[in-house]
Chains A and B, each alone.
Chain A
Amino acid sequence: MSAPLTSLLDAPVAARPLPARTFWRRALRHRSFVVGGVLTLLVLASALLSLVWTPWSPYEIDIAAKLKPPSAAHWLGTDSFGRDIVSLLLAGARSTILVGIIAVSIGLTFGVCLGLIAAARRGWTEEIIMRFSDFTFAFPAVLSAIMLAAVVGPGMVTSIVAIGIFQVPTLTRLTRGSANAIWAREFVLAARAAGKGAFRITIEHVLPNILSILIVQATIQFALAILAEAALSYLGLGTQPPQPSWGRMLNDAQTLLFQSPMLAVYPGAAIAIAVLGLNLLGDGLRDLLDPRLARER
């Protein structure tokens, strides 16, 4: 699983040395890239911070201190078990990002490989792969998670696998579509004329050329994965207590809407910030990495 992923990350340096300084100079002036980048870094930093430090333990239950309003000790107050909201939010970022990264990696690994194979082999192989991705489309993440949960029981792994499966068809289609466009180009024809095989052409020419599209889409898919993770945790199919997660916090808060409405606001805002950040980052990357699209704006 790690081999294609490494080559995917190494490829831009090897195949097309991006003028890094120009990129950053343009990037730092791009509004949605900067805003999206800052928001995404904020979420990432919260997740990392929660590994080493949180104001209170997100697992420690203190019924005496339950449903406290914001104070100097508990900046955003406490929940119905007396847990510190800030600590829960920080630790929740961890689950969200963990599930997102693994699910998108699964989606990318399978989606990109299948898409590249479909584009390289054409014919029956392509037909079978595309039909398969067609009917995987009939199962949105929640549906496949429900099926899995019915069989193996709910949990973080269930949600990761379900979200990962749901990412595959989108990425397969995108990869195949862009790869087909590259296969039709003259330099691929030249490479074929030079006797290179389909595998080498895919690695040396096709993959590097569709990489920027894939990076942009991966960002967007990450945002979708976060939304799906939140929904599954909210339903109780994803991350299980006591492991904190934003979706679960919302579920808990919903029963207390009349007493402490703000408890339902914070975790949702955290999800929205994470998703907004990634979406803006994706938009920015699209403009920056694909000059053709950027000019059309």
Chain B
Amino acid sequence: MSVFVLRRLLTLLATLIGASLIIFLVLDALPGNAAQMLMGADASPDAVRALTVKLGLDQPLTIRYLQWIKGLLSGDLGNSYVYGTPVAGLIAERLVLTIPLAIMSMLITVVLALSAGIYTAANHNKLGDVGVMSLTQVGLALPNFWFAILLILLFSVRLQWLSAGGFAGWDDGIWPGIKSLLLPAISLAVVQAAILARVTRSAVLEVLREDFVRTARAKGLGKREVLWSHVLRNAMIPVMTVMGLQFANLLAGTIVIENVFYLPGLGRLIFQSIANRDLIVVRNCVMLLAAMVVIVNFVVDVLYAFIDPRIKVHDL
């Protein structure tokens, strides 16, 4: 493993620890008493005290933090205050929906954005470029949950092709599941794709101005070949950076979109747990989302090193 990857790995660890500290401090240290919140204002002090002891909330903060981290590392996240079942199980149940949803919408984002971005850059200042760019400008302005509602209006209310919400699960094969995630994935993807398409376009245009593009043309390569074999790889660096950051938005977006479509995913679990004051579930879900964001960005950083030969040397 190169020094570069090792250094990034250390940063990753530091970021994860930092994020876990923030989450713990905000959710566990700041609010008076979780047990009190759980039982409501008019619960008897004795009952609250009993619950506090039962949940281990009478321990000092450091101990509780360390216990949580220990649990995270061993996969034992404790039991939900409300359901009494293991948090890890609750989360795993929901991830079966959220992860495919995130992957589907990321795929749609990338396909839409790269084709639109490359198309517009290759047809710079022509009619197609101006048209697609105006469309992306509109796409940037759409709130994704509103776009989702519009999709429901069109495909569920008017055309009645797809259901307005709910999740079919994976038991009857892949297709029903994918079908019920299609509208949510599209509504998440379109706004992100608008951003990514604009980034792709300007990255490709910037690389097209480079001298080595002229060199490649002077070797006898056609415009299209230069675009595919010389330009895209160079343009991918900024595009990938934004893709990594977008993954964070996308995960956050699932919280909203799962609520629009009544999908029993991680986002909805967090949401319900807030309503139920089930702080232990909130804490672990937020940590999971934050960790996914950080890890995806770490992977992007490491991928740079594979794409760009210059990075390894600079960082050694």
In the complex, are the beta carbons of A231 and B256 less than 8 A apart?
Answer: yes
Q: Which residues of B contact A149 (CB under 8 A)?
A: 274
Known: A135-B19, A141-B252, A143-B289. A271 touches B143 (CB 8 A): yes
Closest to A264 in B: B149
In the complex, are the beta carbons of B15 and A257 less than 8 A apart?
Answer: no
Q: Which residues of A contact B260 (CB under 8 A)?
A: 254
CB of A145, distance to nearest CB on chain B (Å): 10
Q: Which residues of B contact A143 (CB under 8 A)?
A: 252, 255, 286, 289-290
The reply on A119 being an interface residue by CB < 8 A is no
Q: Which residues of A contact B277 (CB under 8 A)?
A: 150
Closest to B206 in A: A296
Q: Which residues of A contact B252 (CB under 8 A)?
A: 140-143
In A242-297, the 8 Å CB interface with B consists of 247, 250, 253-254, 257-258, 261, 264-265, 267-268, 271-273, 275-276, 279-280
Q: Which residues of B contact A265 (CB under 8 A)?
A: 150, 153
In the complex, are the beta carbons of A272 and B138 less than 8 A apart?
Answer: yes
CB of A212, distance to nearest CB on chain B (Å): 19
The reply on B229 being an interface residue by CB < 8 A is no
Known: A134-B15, A142-B255, A279-B137. A147 touches B282 (CB 8 A): yes
The 0/1 profile, CB within 8 Å of A marked 1, for residues 246-276 of chain B is: 0011011101100110000000001101100
In the complex, are the beta carbons of B31 and A151 less than 8 A apart?
Answer: yes
Mark A residues whose CB is within 8 Å of B. Answer: 131-132, 134-135, 137-143, 146-152, 223, 227, 230-231, 234-235, 247, 250, 253-254, 257-258, 261, 264-265, 267-268, 271-273, 275-276, 279-280
Beyond the given pairs A131-B11, A143-B286, 18 more chain A to chain B contacts, judged by CB atoms under 8 angstroms and listed by A's residue number, are A137-B245, A137-B248, A138-B15, A142-B253, A146-B270, A146-B282, A151-B30, A250-B145, A257-B149, A257-B157, A258-B157, A264-B149, A265-B150, A268-B149, A272-B138, A272-B143, A276-B141, A279-B141
* 19 residue pairs from A and B, CB less than 8 Å apart: A131-B14, A131-B15, A132-B18, A137-B297, A138-B291, A140-B252, A140-B293, A142-B255, A146-B274, A146-B282, A150-B277, A258-B157, A261-B153, A265-B150, A267-B146, A272-B142, A273-B141, A275-B143, A280-B137
